[in-house]
Structure 1
Amino acid sequence: MVDSASSGELREDFDRENLQLSKDLDRMTERVESIAVDLTWMAYDMVVLRTVPQLTKSLKRLEDEYLLCKSVISGSAEKDNLDALSKIVDQKSTQD
């Protein structure tokens, strides 16, 4: 009788541990997949940016324009700063 009770408990413990290990493995697999996706996008970005240098300039200009618009909309920029930013963006536009 003791053997059947202890073997039943052992079986339950084994099942619980097996379920927990399965859950842990699923979580780790999801993390690895996420990392793989991130690495793939990073590699893609590196290849694109290095093969098309104009894209880097365009992205920088877009970022500058965004920051200018953001400062104007939020009202955090002062008039002098806006004029300076505006001149920089205009100079970059004429250079491209």
Structure 2
Amino acid sequence: MSDSSLPSQLPGTSDDDDLSELNKNLERLTEDIEQMSVQLTWMAYDVVALRTSPELAAAMSDLEEAYHGCREAVCGDVHRETHADNCPDTAATTLAQI
């Protein structure tokens, strides 16, 4: 009869490990859902901003073109290597990042 109590203790230890793993998985899933929620909120904000003011997309495009024109005027031809050292990389500076 003392042998029958031994098997009951082994699954208990396994249950604790299973619960610990389950808690870790639930925590990870909760963090993933929170990140998706934040991304979805920003996407919804962008859609609302564009639908509220459809001219915004055109204005942003015009502003980006003006930026590139000013950059060429200040830095010269951005494809030449001599002036590229004096000006920041255009790929690193875009209106989408602002």
Q: TM-score range by the shorter chain?
A: 0.5 to 0.7
Aligned with 2:26: secondary structure? helix
Inter-CA distance 72–30: structure 2 relative to 1 (3 Å threshold): farther
Give yes or no for the alignment of 1:22 onto 2:58: no
TM-score, normalised relative to structure 1? 0.61
User: Match for residue 87 of structure 1?
Assistant: none
CA distance in 1, matches of 2:5, 2:77: 75
Instruction: Kindly report the root-mean-square deviation, in angstroms, between the aligned alpha carbons of the 2 structures.
Output: 3.0
CA distance in 2, matches of 1:31, 1:78: 42
More helix by share: 1
Aligned with 1:77: secondary structure? coil
Q: How high is the sequence identity, in percent, across the aligned residues?
A: 37
User: Match for residue 93 of structure 1?
Assistant: none
> How many pairs align?
79
Inter-CA distance 45–2: structure 2 relative to 1 (3 Å threshold): same
Amino acid at match of 1:24: N
CA distance in 2, matches of 1:11, 1:34: 35
CA distance in 2, matches of 1:16, 1:70: 60
User: Match for residue 51 of structure 2?
Assistant: 50
CA distance in 2, matches of 1:20, 1:71: 57
User: Match for residue 84 of structure 1?
Assistant: none
Unaligned runs of 5+ in 1: 80-96
Inter-CA distance 67–19: structure 2 relative to 1 (3 Å threshold): farther
Give yes or no for the alignment of 1:7 onto 2:13: no
User: Match for residue 32 of structure 1?
Assistant: 33
Structure of greater relative contact order (alpha carbons < 8 Å, 6+ residues apart): 1
Amino acid at match of 2:40: L
